[in-house]
Structure 1
């Protein structure tokens, strides 16, 4: 592979910001371009009509390493579908026209279909003033922002490079492939089978083209970021990385340079046009800048410094100059007075208040139609009061991070995921490639000020081993100790192999949530995804059936749901020390209609003022939490505050032998022989419930029952739960997928260590300890799994035996029997649970 690492530092001042908005002259078009025309998009954005072959993303594409001389090669290229093994069409004119850099599935590309294999072709000229000749010693670099997925590049019929990876940039030194004359030919051959290989694809799925729906979307194949070229000397700067030291007064700058082992690097830092620091050093070694009274970067004050980097020969002659920029900031976790870890920015406790940003566009798919469009989503975050964004399993063009630096948004950067599911697990070659692309992402984006954390895995997608996930998280931290590592976003969810215990962050997903994982002495905690409230806006919909995690009927209802959800998050920040939350999502994406904006960015779906008000409170809430008060001792003894022996044997009522909350037995439940005496046989359809809540599920409590399953496997079966407004506050249940018992909340499950067997009685106890923020499962008197959740989920409805509630529906009916159900208003201790089990279920 031929990879050129581009500049990775952080931030941008007004001087450089203005320069970065400049554009190159309109690129030359390929022969016979008149046949091209864009396809009709299913939705247009406010910028769709601004796109043409003469202005396809004309802005300078590499804001952190800028030279004056460059030429944009975006615009019309020739295009043809290809078959495996086809030779490059050297010197041949291709039949179709494609607008680069829009992926071929997009309307803006002019193709709007998927191809597994394809060729791009165009000619270009090298300006004479660049003096790219052996005599002058200059080199011509041809840069590709990103090509999905396997790319081969021929220049004048000669294979110049091969590159694998759909999210990182690469460079070709074209000098030795140039020929005499004004016109040069470049051909790019691309293979992107998307669903056919275990390659990093994020949310891309080929079936979404014809059958859009759900959480996977239209793929983005071929060239999808800017193609451009520039002249350089043989000795030239390749990469600049600036790292703020913990004292917040010094910055270490590393300048990597080609063919410059005997050269000297000179640095000049400016703020508002005034020189504030200079330094000299060697390429490849840290060069320290000391800045008195530094202006630190933060979301409230996104201060940036210009940086001029020059490369000099021993004689002092300058051979290269690049303009860059950086921001001064640190990010870390600290141990609070509560003995738990919390995120700090520049040493100050900071709640990282974010949305999920997936970076999809109805007209350009993976590629924003214009730079103004690219900036729109980030500017919207700021208008809505957010201070952060999670870039969800996609890597963006450099200008996206430039806008985040400039506007002041912290960024969680995901690694694009392998396909979800484990059928089969990725083979060794796919695993190695995944890790290679992960570390390339770190190398190429490791200096943006805005990026505060790396996320290698999401919800177990493509994960193959929990220990390997921990090892990979350690490797990321070793490669970049200056940022946070979130080893596994949504570790409680979906295809997850379980918590490796590594990294700086514990991250749960919960819809609609929010999730409430407890920070520990080793790791801070965040909610990695929550919310997902949806609203259908007619005439702004992608083809297919719109959906969301919970639908609203009006703009006002959607706003109210959001404010209520974020108010709960504010409570988690203040009471539990939760360090961040990520709301799904900034815009609708295809048929997912849970955005603040419609997919076409034309309609704002919530009222801005109440949204901004709660977000501002959350963004400035800090995250140090508070020490929880000592809980009440509760009612002593093992009888509990309610007990249903279920010895009634007939009728439609099960008496409460301790309290006054009898169970009403619903149709389908019958009486049968129990562990001791009689029991309630639920039969997979029946259940029993109280009139009202009997447990304060936000405090400490315990619930126990004897349970016998008729069959194992299948879905969930719940023995005991208590209803919340929409879903149960807890579930003492069996998970057929794992074939294990669990004590669960909407946020996570504490699993038994062994698999369950049908036909035998098990004694299950679920214990919620409010002081430690834990949910613990006991099976047959022995402690099994445990999860940490700071606050208990609220409940407002009856205790139920034999069913659960989810999204307003009764679900997870138990196929089997339940005996001797007890409820306690305190957490039971280990010894008490053992005594309760050894009582054998005796009712008298």
Structure 2
């Protein structure tokens, strides 16, 4: 019988408004209506944008390459292609012997145009038949293993009505020995059930959402999205996986060939090759650590990504029962102090700056799945064209062939763990996330390109700062050969704060770059910056796009990129930053901040200029060129270069008793009783004091102080003193509504007080920017209350203002309360001076 397609369907990217729906479903250019395939009946969908590889995809060539380059066998069969498909209901029995009504092209996720389904289903059935080649001898000395590269998210597998596998996890592979479920000869029936609730649960999803959001989250991918294949293995035993760990100090490769169950007593022989020449060999018991000596090793690096080939055989006595091919690279990632004494990242013992992009890995035609292997390789090749040596794979895990191309092309990889949706997951989901993190490391640890593991990003799905530190330690224990970035963007967003663990301090700052400082035990990196955008008509997912800053044309975008990277070089040499991650390699849906449009058809910058500045940063960002002059001594005394006692008690001017920078009262703040004498009361909506002058050099050291009494201490930001920059305030002495605490801040960096202030109570605040130590410090009532690393200060040419801030080009964060006795200083006050200032104002 025929199973009807599910009626629980909705249009691809069905958003709230008809206007958006039209923008997302209409093709960019007129194309002929898709025609059903004559042999299978499958019809390719029409993506909102097509890539240069969209038309290359057909039922006969859906990702035909062997999917596991580090464990290859000569006998295998690809099961990609057209399968039957139907939506499913919870608890439904498998459709054994039933024909399903629709056709889907595996392994493209069902929401994608390339799948031919182009809609979401919470639950789904896949069905096909296959025949086992007679030459394989399955059942006569061989077993048949069925492999799934990845199925999102929960899955079950039946062969001939027998359930052979259950798996949870959308980014890792699984397999099953299906021999005992096979019929004797002829066609075999394969059925897969998948459930993907995406952001309705706390399953790891990265950037996926059931529908995109015109922001930083994108259309989700459900069901089978990586290659399905089968291969015969010996019934005596087989090699299940390989652990490959280079050791430059010992000039060797540590190898463990992990056998299938029951084959632990067999013997392994491994031979390493330089081209066709055998250079080393070792033999020993399967499942034990063996050492392959590599005399005069050729090292792997971005400039010379040399890979040794490897042949591993499994023997039962003298009988060979299995043979696999693989490869490895000899390289070592670590840290060392540079000439300036700051800790930096090293490759093969030498300091090397990690020049990286943020790579999301989404495609307008295949969503989570690249249309072809050539397309998968393209993004990585373009990293090399643009002068990058690193790619941060952002909260997504790719098919093994992506890492193969990074290995071959010579790109260092920071591998993120896919995040859950923001919020605190339940204990069950916490355990599941940790399990998937461990599996991600296990599956990909042999790739020489991967140099950094990143468990958390900006606090998404983080549930406890102590747990974050414990997880970083467990990752390091599982893989001590790589660096651990416990929390990328620890200064941002949903972060619960720095656990102090791992090898890396990672700040995000848009437009940036960020300027954290390394410590004696952890290097500092800019984990995300940039995000500068350009719209290209006819090449946008929504027909319009957004970014952190929009350029009017390619020339302007290129110029700003070059300026931004020169700032990165200055930060690297001045602050000791070891890496910069620019957002991003391609546009993705609403985000138009890529070097390429989302369809990979348009280069949005002058690539020659991009490459030149990137190579200059890599070449020079090691601290040897740093020549940072000491900050000037500044003006002595506690009066400062600007002092507004606010004792006028009348009029529309606040007199500056230290300089010639009288403040103009804007929108009528009212005179009221101050801490001593009078003060100014602000309404929290539009009132402030404008000095009309750029008083502080915010690239150097400075301090600011005031007495403040809040009328409310809720979730709104409130600024006490700031100075306008081009887009944001150069600094904010403020109440942070996000934290409900006082802070001395830069955009993206906050030195926070430990407790929430009480509305109606007077507090003395001092914010210090210390250029010599690269710190922001906050003092409350004469005592140090918080500090943060901020090596460089933002320049500003706008006026110093009292009672508001500036962000994104707009006035924001108006104070709701009273201010008195405002000082600004052209130097960093000492702790003793802060105490004296507090005592003098009481």
TM over 0.5: yes
CA RMSD of aligned residues (A): 1.6
Quote how far apart the aligned CAs of 1:547 are: 0.9
360, 366, 370: which is aligned to 1:368? 370
**What per-residue deviation string (whole Å, max 9, x for no partner) do you get for residues 131-152 of structure 1?**
001xx32111100000000000
Q: Does 1:112 align with 2:118?
A: yes
> CA contact under 8 A between 1:248 and 1:329: conserved in structure 2?
no
Q: Secondary structure at the match of 1:403?
A: helix
Q: Partner of 2:831 in structure 1?
A: 830
> CA contact under 8 A between 1:278 and 1:289: conserved in structure 2?
yes
> CA contact under 8 A between 1:33 and 1:76: conserved in structure 2?
no
Q: Partner of 2:68 in structure 1?
A: 62
Q: Partner of 1:678 in structure 2?
A: 678
Query: d(CA) in 1 for partners of 2:286 and 2:550?
Result: 56
**What per-residue deviation string (whole Å, max 9, x for no partner) do you get for residues 200-245 of structure 1?**
011111132xxx4101110100000000000111311111122111
> CA contact under 8 A between 2:338 and 2:351: conserved in structure 1?
no
**What per-residue deviation string (whole Å, max 9, x for no partner) do you get for residues 613-641 of structure 1?**
11111122343464744333322221112
> CA contact under 8 A between 1:646 and 1:819: conserved in structure 2?
yes
**What per-residue deviation string (whole Å, max 9, x for no partner) do you get for residues 555-604 of structure 1?**
01111111111110011111111000111110000111111100000001
Q: Secondary structure at the match of 1:775?
A: strand
Q: Does 1:648 align with 2:655?
A: no
> CA contact under 8 A between 1:79 and 1:95: conserved in structure 2?
yes
Q: Partner of 1:614 in structure 2?
A: 613
**What per-residue deviation string (whole Å, max 9, x for no partner) do you get for residues 47-101 of structure 1?**
0000000000001101001111000000000001000010000011110000000
Q: Partner of 2:523 in structure 1?
A: 524
> CA contact under 8 A between 1:753 and 1:785: conserved in structure 2?
yes
306, 317, 320: which is aligned to 1:318? 320
Q: Partner of 2:272 in structure 1?
A: 269
96, 102, 124: which is aligned to 2:130? 124
What's the TM-score once normalised by structure 1's chain length?
0.93
Q: Partner of 2:499 in structure 1?
A: 500
Query: d(CA) in 1 for partners of 2:622 and 2:354?
Result: 9
User: How many aligned positions are there?
Assistant: 803
Query: d(CA) in 2 for partners of 1:337 and 1:521?
Result: 14
Quote how far apart the aligned CAs of 1:545 are: 4.4
**What per-residue deviation string (whole Å, max 9, x for no partner) do you get for residues 116-159 of structure 1?**
001100000000000001xx321111000000000000011001
Q: Secondary structure at the match of 2:114?
A: coil
Q: Partner of 1:91 in structure 2?
A: 97
What's the TM-score once normalised by structure 2's chain length?
0.94
> CA contact under 8 A between 1:248 and 1:328: conserved in structure 2?
no
Mapping for residues 521-670 of structure 1, pairs under 5 Å: 521-543=520-542, 545-624=544-623, 626=626, 628-670=628-670
Query: d(CA) in 2 for partners of 1:617 and 1:789?
Result: 24
Quote how far apart the aligned CAs of 1:293 are: 2.0
160, 163, 167: which is aligned to 2:164? 160
Q: Partner of 2:311 in structure 1?
A: 308
Q: Secondary structure at the match of 2:434?
A: helix
Q: Secondary structure at the match of 1:839?
A: helix
Query: d(CA) in 2 for partners of 1:628 and 1:677?
Result: 44
Mapping for residues 783-822 of structure 1, pairs under 5 Å: 783-822=784-823
Higher relative contact order (CA 8 A, sep 6+): 1
Q: Partner of 2:283 in structure 1?
A: 280
Query: d(CA) in 2 for partners of 1:556 and 1:491?
Result: 33
Q: Partner of 2:471 in structure 1?
A: 472
> CA contact under 8 A between 2:537 and 2:543: conserved in structure 1?
no
169, 172, 177: which is aligned to 2:173? 169
**What per-residue deviation string (whole Å, max 9, x for no partner) do you get for residues 684-703 of structure 1?**
21112223321121222111
> CA contact under 8 A between 2:338 and 2:622: conserved in structure 1?
no
Q: Partner of 1:38 in structure 2?
A: 44
- CA change 1:33–1:150 in 2 (3 A) is farther
Q: Partner of 1:348 in structure 2?
A: 350
Q: Bigger CA drift: 539-548 or 384-393?
A: 539-548
Q: Secondary structure at the match of 1:587?
A: coil
Mapping for residues 324-343 of structure 1, pairs under 5 Å: 324-336=326-338, 338-343=340-345
Query: d(CA) in 2 for partners of 1:344 and 1:690?
Result: 48
Q: Secondary structure at the match of 1:34?
A: coil
**What per-residue deviation string (whole Å, max 9, x for no partner) do you get for residues 723-773 of structure 1?**
122211111001123211111111311111110121221110011111211
> CA contact under 8 A between 2:385 and 2:611: conserved in structure 1?
yes
Q: Does 1:78 align with 2:92?
A: no
> CA contact under 8 A between 2:145 and 2:178: conserved in structure 1?
yes
> CA contact under 8 A between 1:339 and 1:520: conserved in structure 2?
no
Quote how far apart the aligned CAs of 1:339 are: 4.4
Q: Partner of 1:16 in structure 2?
A: none
Q: Partner of 1:20 in structure 2?
A: none
